Every structure is written in C-alpha cells, then in structure tokens.
Amino acid sequence: MNSEIKGIILAGGFATRLYPSTLVTSKQLLPVYDRPMIFYPLNTLIKAGIKDILIIVTPEHSGDFINLLGSLLENYGITLSFKVQSRPGGLPEAFILGENHIDNHNVALILGDNIFEDDFGSIIKTFQSGGHVFAKKVSDPERFGVVKFNQSSKAELIVEKPTEFVSDYAITGLYLYDHHVVQAAKDLQPSGRGELEIVDLHNYYLRQNQLQVTVFEGAWMDAGTHDSLLEASNLVKQRGIYQKFDPIIKEATKEFCEFRKKCIKQ
C-alpha cells in the first residue's frame, strides 16, 4: 500500500430538492455565503495535505466544473481530475468509478454538499488502514445513517434512516478507507431502490472490526435543501468558516479573480 492518500469529491446527482436553482447548474456550484459550495469539501481535503483529487460530476454540468476548477490549482501542486457519473448509483459507486485513481492508495471521499467546521487534517494524515468515519449528534436522526455505540463507546451497528430510534449520532459525508474499498464496493448488492448503499460498506468494515468512528462537536452542514443551504451560508458567516481556507485556495482564488478582472477590462 502506498502511503499517499488520494481524494475524491462526489459532486453528482440531480439535486431535485434544490429545483429550480439546480435547473441551470450543479448543486455543488451554488454559492454558500461567498463562494461555490464545492470549495468547502475541496478545502477539507487540501488542508489534510491531499494533492491528487478526483471530482465525480454529472454529464450535464461537467463543463461548469472544468471551467471553474480545471486550471485553478495547477500552479499550486494540486492535481484535479474529473470523472463523469452517467447516473446516480449510490455513494459506494464513487470508489468503483475512482478505481484507477485510488490504485493501491488509501482514499478520502467527501460529499460535495458537506461542509465541516472542524479540521480533520491530523486524522486524515495519520490514517493507515481499514475505515474511519465521522459522527455528529443530531436532532433528526431519521434523516441519516446513524451509528449505535456500546457501553464502551465502540461502534456496534450502523443503520440507514431508522424508522425507530437507534441512535442520534449521524454518519457524516466524509469517509476514509484503504484501497480494499474498491473491491468491497464491487461486492455490494444494490438495495431495493437499485443503488449501492454506503451503510452496507460501513457495516462490512465494522464486521471485520476495521471501522473507527470519531465523534466531533463542530458544525456540520449538509446543504441539500433550500433551507439547509441558507442555514449553511449563515453559519459559514457567523462562525467565520469562510476565513479558514487553506492558503493554497486563498492564493489560487485571488490569482483567478485578478486574471478574470484583467480579461473583463480588455
């Protein structure tokens, strides 16, 4: 196994809950306070020292992502590549689509609409094998995959959108896995809705006693609805999250904006 960790941002899907805003562009390109949403998961990976990142996008909006990010970071040692997901096939499909990108490396997958206040850089940098996910206590656990802990605070069960109370600790959209995740994802069976389910992947590693769960306290935003998108913008401003971007992103964005201003003046 290579010690370098690869990054994947999953920015596909139809985002029907954000219609009509997403009729013209991808959800992950909508603004959260002062910049496109995708800059936040990108920041999470770059702050963790990840330099090779695959962004999985829809066919309809692939050009929008390339226009924004295609050359943005090329002068800063960050390699961004893009892969088209023709139709949503479930979150684990990201590992299958990214098989050549992952190769024999560990991988950090982050959902393109997830924004974290906490910096998980030290955990990501020291990740070695198995799996590692991040949980946050929520008031509406029925909306998420949740993790149940035993009396020793060790994860013992993960359930997707439970109809009866199991736990109020939601699994958030940042996942660390070793390179074996590609084959594990291929071995999954589609659920009743015809997609591969990330909870099945978590439970696979949990059964192998190879899944670690970190509970965190900072803000976590899943900006998938109009209300949560507005709330995310407010929290990003109120808590100063917009000021906590890696210097690489700050400098690259500044350079990009200055270049565009020159283009406009000409």
From first to last of the 266 residues of the chain, give the pLDDT tens digit: 557 899 999 998 766 777 887 878 888 999 999 999 999 999 999 999 999 999 999 998 899 999 999 889 989 999 999 999 988 889 999 999 999 999 999 999 999 999 999 999 999 999 999 999 999 999 999 989 999 999 888 999 999 999 999 899 999 999 999 999 999 999 999 998 889 999 999 999 999 999 999 999 999 998 878 888 899 999 999 999 999 999 999 999 888 777 666 655 54
Domain layout of the chain by residue ranges: 2-133+172-265
pTM of the predicted structure, to 2 decimals: 0.94
**Cα gap 92→99, rounded to integer Å:** 11
CATH number of 2-133+172-265: 3.90.550.10
